[in-house]
Chain A
Amino acid sequence: MQALKRSLEIVKSSPTLFILLLGFGLFPIYTSITDLPFWNDIAMRIMLLGMAALGLNLILGFGGMVSFGHAAFIGIGAYSVGISQFYGIDNGWLHILFALLFCAVVGLAIGFLALRTKGIYFIMITLAFAQMLYFFFVSLEVFGGDDGMGVDRAEFLIIDLWDPLRLYYLIWMALFAVCLLLLLIINSRFGVILQGIKDNESRIEAMGLSALRFKIIAYVLSAAVCGLAGALFANWQEYVSPDIMHWSRSGELMIVIILGGLSYIAGPLIGAIVFFLLEEFLPELLFFIAPNYSENWMIIFGPMLIAVVLFTKGGLMAIFHQIYLRLTRRQGTT
């Protein structure tokens, strides 16, 4: 009873998130009716990017720690799958366990060192550690080095993933679990202190709490979520290479978060959806205006990012929120 009440509370605390999750859950029905299975693939990519961004946003949006190196954890998660298979371990659950474990351990080490610094120094030291890992995997010739390595879709005991739809729902369930976990944490005592640290670290310290401990734990959690996304990503792409941990991927994660709105739990997921829709449709749109330049859609996307920063406060979710408030107010008065 208590648990049910609590779950309801959680769903109510972020309706947008659960509407999105429901949407993703029902999406394959739509694609099978319209016979557009290609879109399932896009939806999986969105869910994976969204999952990683949700993980990063635990520290970025709710803890105020601007990590510019979280793609490294996606990479560690993905390589956990590839390297396990290389050594003959085919069980998908074990892969995920390894991904979580490695990310947590590496996250703990990096967090312990990096969280002593603040501001721009923190941004840069997280970038440096990510670059270190990037070049580490480039140097591992055994696992393909620069070229990466192929990955077979793993066996999850009774569930094997020969049918892409099974992978789809595996990713969906993982995303659902991550959302629930993050919502619980953000509303928990730990989460509130974490947000307090973002607001004013020195006051939290003055209350007798060691901010560093909270920050390190949040950092490790967010690394593990990115690792989970990475492990599933390896299954989706059937291929791992150092490219997924390139610094521009870390930038992409941040873009997704800020685009959606970093102080909203659903923000990263919205950001991921919009990011992919733009990637899909901007070239087509450009084709109508200037057919020769449809490949150069970045020339529009770049300035759009700048516009989001200059003209919105708090990303797309903030805009939706404003519109929602205006609509409900109008209804209230008439």
Chain B
Amino acid sequence: MTKVILELKDISKSYGALRATHKLNLSVNKGDVHALIGPNGAGKTTLIKQIYGSEQPDSGQILLNGELINNTSPSVRVRKGIGRSFQISNVLLGFTVLQNALVAELARKGEAFRFFEPAFSNPSLLSGAHDILQGVGLLHQAEKLAAEISHGERRLLELALAIATNPKLLLLDEPMAGAGAEESRHITSIIKSLKSQHATLLIEHDMDAVFKLADRITVLVEGETIASGTPDEISNNSAVRKAYLGDGD
């Protein structure tokens, strides 16, 4: 039995004359990885932003677990169960890797509004933070500043922080961007191993990873869906091949 976590109904958004999203319908089920692909400028990141709440759609509905979340701020949506990783690593660079995880753990438990309680010495917080890092294999770098670890490791931390809040819906905006081949495989395997726990919406340019991970693929061109289906259906779709994948490939 599948459970619909995210449902988009007739989402439209434009910036002046530029149409970023046009009458878009899409749903993501629990346990599925739904990949969004399309050429640059197709409106993938803009769509993620609208789901996350940093941009508002001009019209249409965004439903999370059946609840309309259109007019809420990003932090409220995160508390309602959205986790997001960013295209460009968005971690606390001046904090250590462990402190990044600790802050995420604090936020998840809703125990951040305490003025006198020391932040970093609570055993249950520490063990939670360790688990977060363990999950992505970053524990060995725990004491390093986030600014000092490698780019690939920062992508892992980014992913860890997105998952740390136990989201119902995970928005991944090019999680492998800039990571090496080995690290990409590692990230792919993490996403795959965790996918049963939540619904995942994935943007990724690495087609190998997309076809390995995705249960469904939606192809966006100029803000519109030109095709949507299983990976097999998409790779056999002639319109997609023509518009996007390129025939000779």
Give A contacts to B, CB under 8 Å. Answer: 6, 9, 184-185, 187-193, 195-196, 199-200, 202-211, 213-214
Interface residues as binary, B51-70 with A (CB distance below 8 Å gives 1, 0 otherwise)? 01000000000000000000
Considering only CB atoms, which chain A residue lies closest to B110 in the complex? A208
Task: Evaluate whether A208 and B115 lie within 8 angstroms (CB atoms) in the complex, with A196-B92, A199-B94, A200-B91 already known.
Answer: no
In the complex, the 3 A-B pairs of residues with the closest C-beta atoms, listed nearest first = A208-B78, A207-B107, A192-B119
Whether the pair B119, A209 counts as a contact (CB closer than 8 A) is no
Whether the pair A192, B75 counts as a contact (CB closer than 8 A) is no
Considering only CB atoms, which chain A residue lies closest to B81 in the complex? A208
Considering only CB atoms, which chain B residue lies closest to A9 in the complex? B118
Contact among A190, A205, A207, A214 for B161, CB-based, below 8 A: A207
Whether the pair B116, A188 counts as a contact (CB closer than 8 A) is yes
Contact among A6, A188, A206 for B114, CB-based, below 8 A: A188
Whether the pair B92, A209 counts as a contact (CB closer than 8 A) is no
Contacts between chains A and B (CB distance < 8 A), count? 96
Whether the pair A208, B116 counts as a contact (CB closer than 8 A) is no
Known A189-B111, A191-B119, A208-B79; 19 more pairs at CB < 8 Å: A9-B118, A184-B116, A188-B115, A188-B117, A189-B112, A189-B118, A190-B113, A192-B119, A199-B92, A199-B93, A200-B92, A204-B103, A205-B73, A205-B74, A206-B83, A206-B162, A207-B103, A208-B108, A208-B165
Whether the pair B106, A189 counts as a contact (CB closer than 8 A) is yes
Q: Is B95 an interface residue (CB 8 A)?
A: yes
> CA A248 – CA B194 in complex, angstroms?
56
> CA A207 – CA B76 in complex, angstroms?
10
Question: Which residues of chain B come closer than 8 Å to A207, judged between CB atoms?
Answer: 78, 103-104, 107-108, 161, 164-165
19 A-B contacts, Cβ less than 8 Å apart? A184-B115, A188-B119, A189-B114, A189-B117, A189-B118, A190-B112, A191-B119, A192-B99, A193-B107, A193-B112, A199-B92, A200-B90, A200-B93, A203-B92, A207-B104, A207-B161, A208-B78, A208-B107, A209-B107
Task: Evaluate whether A202 and B90 lie within 8 angstroms (CB atoms) in the complex, with A190-B112, A209-B112 already known.
Answer: yes
Whether the pair A206, B78 counts as a contact (CB closer than 8 A) is yes
> CA A211 – CA B52 in complex, angstroms?
16
Q: Is B84 an interface residue (CB 8 A)?
A: yes
> For window 111-147 of chain B, which residues contact chain A by CB distance below 8 Å?
111-120
Interface centre among B79, B107, B108, B164 (most CB of A within 10 A): B107
